[in-house]
Amino acid sequence: MVVRARTCSFIREGGRPCRATPLRDEDFCFWHSPNHQEEAAEGRRLGGLRRRKERALAGA
């Protein structure tokens, strides 16, 4: 295995690197890749909705 563990090149607010596993042949992870920005946004939106629903169920 030649490829060492790469990390996402994205620098978050505060100067901290993302450090997530980048996509194959890309410098950024799924969340920060310009090629997947819309998908990532959608995934975040859905994840947020799901979390909210779970909390609502837990409270019921």
Closer residue to Zn ion (CB): 13 or 59: 13
The answer to whether 20 contacts Zn ion (rule: CB under 5 A) is: yes
Q: Which two tokens stand for residue 5?
A: 């563990």
The answer to whether 10 contacts Zn ion (rule: CB under 5 A) is: yes
Q: Report the amino acid identity of residue 14.
A: G
The answer to whether 30 contacts Zn ion (rule: CB under 5 A) is: no
Binding-residue total with Zn ion (CB under 5 A): 6
CA angle 3, 16, 26 (to 5 degrees): 35
Q: Which two tokens stand for residue 33?
A: 């890749």
Q: Which residues bind Zn ion (CB under 5 A)?
A: 8, 10, 18, 20, 29, 32
